[in-house]
Structure 1
């Protein structure tokens, strides 16, 4: 761990963790920890957790990472659902299908995670960002046993080699699989970049009588809501890409903008999104039937868009609240009981 003007660098630990938890063709079952209650991971132990072999090995050697990994998974899931709570796809998880936090459906996102859509791009980005954010915060607060570089890990090879997995016969794999892997890795890296680019610079003055003779500055993590908002903006401006063969690089599908570079922080997708209007349990789509909408909004939460043109039902809900409260000497508060009527609109 290295300090410079108050800035803490945890590059080695963060990269190792991110690369280990995004291996080749990973179904990202570690995200399941975000749906579980506290202490479940410790109770199960590394051997019984839904990890790959490399993940289990890292877990066995560094069990102190588990709380932060779970915190990162929860952070990413919560922010995903916050950013998409008014959209047709509202970051559906296996929990939404069966209502259980301890579900054994380790895939969490099911089909959506490997669909190559804009939504999948956001999932990979926000979950990677949550992991990095949680680990960095734990290191900065001194809540982790070690945050520096481990010389014994230098034999893992370069980060890109580790991400791409062990060498093999490329011709035996479909080009679409290569493209999906490349896009998922790019989007995971974009999530990590979002954490770095939203960091705040804080300064403190030192001097006699409040003067600023010496100023100390350091970088600190921004609230994760800011990271999520930045990724949602990139989701809205994501780029469709294609790859015709295993040897080709991923490139823009739009011929007009093909000559331009693919920025590292840009989210990429391979396939157009379904409309998410109708239920399709096989693809992890709940549909929008029964979702609450706004009759007056013209945005994504408006009944016109959210209900996909099917119309909506309206019911009146009566709510009772305490109102006109006054303090009475001595010593209690007296309130009136007020009732209000609210229209609730839900999609047909």
Structure 2
């Protein structure tokens, strides 16, 4: 085959692959079950496609997307991170931040309820955008921003005086852009859910700023640290996730006031402030049983901890249905030794461990036909 023919063939193949990819994306957009689209879906497809095709972006978001495609790529990458963090925080609970394949809402119908779980998701997603944009600014990946070099002069902390230097993480730009992009949809309507989302979005943004930390470099004879140069940097996103999860556990139920401009706490005896707390409007659905109306997946088949009395324990996780025990082979690294220089060599070990899995929910006819004593028999396993 001639070299020219080889090139043409390669080009044709590229066109075919590109055409096939376009058809696949169009298939996703047409046949994805649509409940209520969200910008969260930005993590599922490439940023170039999102601006033009993905439903869920309101006009202002679409304009920002088209104007700053590099920022959208950062948000897309960040979306994967905050969803992963959400799943880490809820890994031992009945609702475990499950995502739905090919669903524009990412989490399915369950997120449409104005519950504590929805409050957390909006907060962590807003925090994720702040974190992703701020990090990209500092790493020089964006045209519109860079790290923050405005802090100059002397400062002080518990260790004494220092000189501002280096380049701090540009958290203020991250917060500003996140507010403009994430809040755009909620500002188009005035109802209790929109107010709830805006409030929790703000809590998420402020959570990232809360964990900004001072980093310093010492100068002086033999590292005496007689002079320090310091700058501000974001902490690991895990700290933000842990903080928001605590806020989730203490979230406050609210109702919209009569003029529709703010909230009233449902508990009349509540004396504190809701400013930095997550808020919700509706009680959570029953996450024990799969229900297509609420979008809950149930806990059938979930792994539980037989020896725990906490949320991950079989009694709580399985909602009293009992559990099955099965042996599972697991491969781990063992007998690791340091080898000079400079590596670690490990053996591969296989262990058989007992895994406990929640029993499935019973249908109504099964409950009626079950003999007395079967419930207690299951719970005493």
Normalised-by-shorter TM-score class: 0.7 to 0.9
Residues 45, 184 of structure 1: CA spacing in aligned structure 2 closer, same or farther, 3 A cutoff? closer
**Aligned counterparts, 1:1-348, within 5 A:** 29-36=38-45, 40-42=46-48, 44=49, 46-50=51-55, 51-95=57-101, 103=102, 105-147=103-145, 165=187, 178-243=191-256, 245-247=258-260, 249-257=262-270, 259-263=271-275, 265-319=276-330, 339-348=350-359
Q: CA deviation at 1:94?
A: 1.3
Tell whether the 8 Å contact from 2:247 to 2:278 is kept in structure 1 after alignment: yes
Residues 68, 161 of structure 1: CA spacing in aligned structure 2 closer, same or farther, 3 A cutoff? closer
CA RMSD of aligned residues (A): 3.1
1:113-162: per-residue Cα shift (whole Å, max 9, x none)? 3311000000000000001100000001111111279xxxxxxxx99996
Counterparts of 1:138 and 1:127, CA distance in 2: 17
Q: What's the secondary structure of 2:355's corresponding residue?
A: strand
Q: CA deviation at 1:299?
A: 1.1
Residues 291, 134 of structure 1: CA spacing in aligned structure 2 closer, same or farther, 3 A cutoff? same
Report the TM-score, using the length of structure 2 for normalisation.
0.68
Report the TM-score, using the length of structure 1 for normalisation.
0.74
1:2-29: per-residue Cα shift (whole Å, max 9, x none)? xxxxxxxxxxxxxxxxxxxxxxxx9562
- Which segment is superposed worse, 45-54 or 127-136? 45-54
Counterparts of 2:303 and 2:187, CA distance in 1: 44
Aligned length: 287
Extract unaligned runs of 5+ from structure 1: 1-25, 96-102, 150-157, 167-172, 328-332
Residues 274, 223 of structure 1: CA spacing in aligned structure 2 closer, same or farther, 3 A cutoff? same
Q: CA deviation at 1:203?
A: 1.5
Counterparts of 2:337 and 2:211, CA distance in 1: 45
Which structure would you say has the larger Rg? 2
Counterparts of 1:256 and 1:221, CA distance in 2: 37
Extract unaligned runs of 5+ from structure 2: 1-34, 147-169, 171-179, 339-343, 360-381
Q: What's the secondary structure of 2:229's corresponding residue?
A: strand
Counterparts of 1:334 and 1:184, CA distance in 2: 50
Residues 57, 159 of structure 1: CA spacing in aligned structure 2 closer, same or farther, 3 A cutoff? closer
Counterparts of 1:190 and 1:206, CA distance in 2: 38
Counterparts of 1:199 and 1:63, CA distance in 2: 27
Tell whether the 8 Å contact from 1:34 to 1:77 is kept in structure 2 after alignment: no
Tell whether the 8 Å contact from 1:128 to 1:192 is kept in structure 2 after alignment: yes
Residues 249, 53 of structure 1: CA spacing in aligned structure 2 closer, same or farther, 3 A cutoff? closer
